[in-house]
Structure 1
Amino acid sequence: MNIARQLRRIALNEDINFLLTNRVPRAALTRFMGWFSRIRHPWVRGASMAVWRTFTDLDLSEARKTSFESLHDCFVRELKPGMRPIDPRADVLVSPCDAIVGACGRIGDDPLAQVFQAKGFPYPLADLLDHDTRGRALLGTLRGGHYATLRLTSSMYHRFHAPGALTLEHVTYISGDTWNVNPIALKRIEKLFCKNERAVLHLRLADGTPLLLVPVAAILVASMRLKAVPDVALNLQYRGPNQIPCQAAYQKGEEMGWFEHGSTILVFTPPGFALCDGIVTGHRIRMGEALMSRSA
């Protein structure tokens, strides 16, 4: 067994993985990674990407660029045109990103609209929305609807797109921690998504149906960019307003923003939508593939 395979095997040990990615100075390490990943030196870039490849299944064959100036440049890479066909059906919401489906299902009918981060680990949607009064006012509308947890691994394409033809009406930025969001941590840290850095994107379909898209940051990736809020990085250093009005229209599949690394996107819909066939925990999905559809 070569050294790379041995290192991967160690990293996959749940106890070791949890300790190495959580029981560390998470915020400081995340800030350091944000700085380090932008170093434009060929030796630094080459060594960093070699380590990255050791622990992941990084595949750059779909990338628009063939060379990268820094590790960060590779993280936020664009794809070649046509690499992600968009499901054209009008009654279908597509996945906003490449991901592994985590917990998914029906939003609870209880007052706090309970959902799950992992089996046996519920969290109230009300807590996820925290001080987002606009979002909490939607709880009554979302109860009985559906949700999907979409986890982006570090090697995946990190940009996210509109799940349908819609308008982004408002962004609520919620500062928080940077726990790892992998399945190992989700089985150990209660209400993890409610603790981490996140943004609540208030979306509205053409027929007026409201949707919530919640990008959640994590260790090494407490930073996200939204095209509707140009020149603003939502990250641990952000000191701007928590409430950001928007009025940005998108076609289905149009790019909305990107993470600086891998993380998670939570999708919430009101009653009237259901998960498409095959959308279960562990399923790999690509941006543009069917995620939810209008129920009969």
Structure 2
Amino acid sequence: MASGFHSGLEPARQDYPEVTHVSHGYGHQYNQQPPQPYYSQPYDPPAVPAPKLEPSATPAPPPSSYGGQTVASPFNSDAQPVAAQHEPQSGTGRTIFGCSLLVFILSCIVAILSAAVIGLAAATGIESQRASSASSSLAALSASVASAASATASAPGTTSTAVGVIDDGCSTNPSSVDKTLYTSFSLLGALKFTRYCDKDAPNDPLLSLFTANFGTCMDACAAYTKYVTPDMISSGNSTDANATCEAVSFIPAWTNKLTAERGGAPGNCYLKGGPQNETGLKDPDIGVDCHAAIFTPGA
């Protein structure tokens, strides 16, 4: 062995084509068969279908540390375009407290209208309550006066606090009032009148009217003398002394107009002409209390 070769034998390759002896004689053609594989193939291998590629369940990309979302690789079959997370909103899409601008404005309008309705209802309720209270008080007062007047009308001479105030005490304490003086309002001449309890002045009335009490009835008599009599005399309608108010008859029960209407009375105070004096007074025959007062000049 030469020193340039490796020691040992190298096995010969077995995949060379088989060599066939060919005769080079005349009359023979050169025939060469195609090479055959070294290993025989007793049967054809079955066709194996190509594996079907299925989309892999790629997990959602993790969120980016910069606030956005990591976009999947374009080489991944499951990659989908990711919409922008923070798109600028138009004016109509603005939200306030989680509501759209239009819904927020409508809610404010409804709240204002509701507050106005509630306030109006509260104010109306208060005024209605006040009116009801006033009506109740007026009804109670009217009932009290009517009751006092009815008691006086049904039982002449009975005492009543309300009537006692109206008639200066003639009904409750006649002895302290009878034949005592009353001075009329100073601007009406401060005329003097002598009061007589449970008496009625004679003569037809010059005027009938409603007054608050016995005292204002005598004030009305003084006003008639001060204003009406001079006018009647100056116009020539009367020169008679009867044109002057000389006395009054006051019926406290008829201070209530309903009671007066039932009794056919046009008032509770009747102004009478003269002449008038104590001996001419008469006892009442009208079924209710009546008190008289006579103008007393120089008293």
Give the strand-richer structure, 1 or 2: 1
Greater relative contact order structure (CA < 8 Å, 6+ sep): 1
- Give the alignment's TM-score, normalised by structure 2: 0.23
Q: Which has the larger radius of gyration?
A: 2
More helix as a share of residues: 2
